[in-house]
Amino acid sequence: MSSTPAEFRRALAQAFAAAVSEADDGLLLTVDEVRLHFALRDLPPRQIGALQLARLQVDITVQTGLPAEAEALLARVDRATQRGGG
């Protein structure tokens, strides 16, 4: 995704507030019975002419929760981390 780790953290914190906590290699999001782990890894920026875009690899692991509840939470995360574009 085109984001920095700080931008990703900020988007999650704005959407989920205290449900977001730090983990050794990323973030944890705990909502009700579902806990998601987000492993964050910076990638080299993408260069398009003079434009340079940050890149971030986000690997998501469902640590606890039922599949349907985890999918619903992932959909909320997806909406919270989307940006305008086109």
Calpha distance 24→12 (Å, rounded)? 17
What is the residue whose two structure tokens read 């290699």?
Answer: 25
For the chain, list the strands marked E by DSSP. 20-23, 26-31, 34-48, 51-64
pLDDT band at 28 (very low <50, low <70, confident <90, very high): very high
**How much is the mean pLDDT over the chain?**
91
CATH of 5-75, one of 3.40.50.620, 3.10.20.30, 3.60.15.10, 3.30.1370.80: 3.30.1370.80
pLDDT digits (tens, 9 = 90+) for 40-55: 999 999 999 999 999 9
Taking 50 as the threshold, does the pLDDT of residue 85 lie above it? yes
The pTM score is: 0.86
Where in the chain are the domains?
5-75
